[in-house]
Amino acid sequence: MTDTDESGPETRVAKIERIFRTDYDNGPEQDVTEILADLRHYCDHHGLDYGERDRAAHGFYLAEVASQEGGHTLECCSLSSSQRRRIRPSSSAYRGSAARF
């Protein structure tokens, strides 16, 4: 995955900046705080566990960063070794799961 990939980091940053410009306009720090609070409400409304979704997102993020840095899986204290194996960028499960978020 490169920064020019459809789902690469640059595309994702541009996507979130469009959301911020549309629905938030209080500066990056306040906007992130507000969108995280809104995501908690969204999870409550849909019966989702925000903490689980946040951990999954963190795993996807680490895998994406690792992919950008040569494909090595980064270690994270909040993920077990089996969870880290499941989120490797080359994993088809990773690609399918990432598309849902």
Tokens in use for 76? 């994270």
Please choose, from the candidates 61, 86, 57, the residue with its C-alpha nearest in 3D space to the C-alpha of residue 9: 61
Q: What is the mean pLDDT of the chain?
A: 74
Predicted pLDDT at 41: 97
Close Cβ partners of 58 (under 8 Å, ≥ 6 residues apart): 76, 78, 79
Spatial contact of 59 and 76, defined as CB atoms under 8 Å apart:
yes
Predicted pLDDT at 34: 94
Q: How many CA atoms lie within 13 A of 100 on its CB side?
A: 8
Report the C-alpha gap between 46 and 40 in whole angstroms. 10
Regions of the chain where pLDDT drops below 70: 1-6, 71-101
For the chain, give every domain's residue range.
1-48, 50-101
Predicted pLDDT at 67: 85
Query: pTM value?
Result: 0.58
